Amino acid sequence: MAATLGDIAADARGMLWLEVTGKGAKPGRVALPPLARDALRRALKARGLPVRRTRWHPATPLVAALDTERSAAQPAGAGISAARLRQVLGGFFQAAAESVDARHPTLAAKLRHASPHWLRHTHATHALDAGVELVVVCDNLRNASVATTSTYLHGEEAKRARQVGAAFRRPQRGSCRQYLPRPAR
């Protein structure tokens, strides 16, 4: 996890972006929506760091190492390693699975297999379900193909099924009579 506060940049409109390096050392940037900015502010405040961008130190890690990880080789203020983040999130997912297992065993099973990469999939699914355009989600994930991103369209399938179901509902009992020829009197 090498991301630092210096990797967050504002564009000409004041929108914040996290500059990242992806597969094959390919540079890109990810939009930081208000929810992410609020979480960042809370995290910085909890770490005793300045919240205003003008006061940030660019080398400050975006995600700090946990106090228990620090050693002589890792000074205070160092960032969390990718392996340690995976371990911490794994513990969180396991605890979450245990807490919901009795009421929601299917969800608990999903949580037991969750990983940091699963959060990426979850983000894409929720963004698409919230109406974010497929191309926008594709760009934000930095996927090479819209076809890859379209695998997250679970909500679109559900929406399609609901709309087709609504259009072709079974008639209520007795309501078909209006379409049948009336007997001659």
116-129 and 82-100 helices cross at what angle (nearest 10)?
70
The answer to whether 22 touches 131, Cβ cutoff 8 Å, is no
Residue-level pLDDT at 183: 63
- The reported pTM is 0.71
The 3-state secondary structure of 12-54 reads: CCCCEEEEEECHHHCEEEEECCHHHHHHHHHHHHHCCCCCCHH
Share of the chain above pLDDT 90, in %: 45
- Express each pLDDT in 126-149 by its tens digit: 888 888 888 899 898 888 888 888
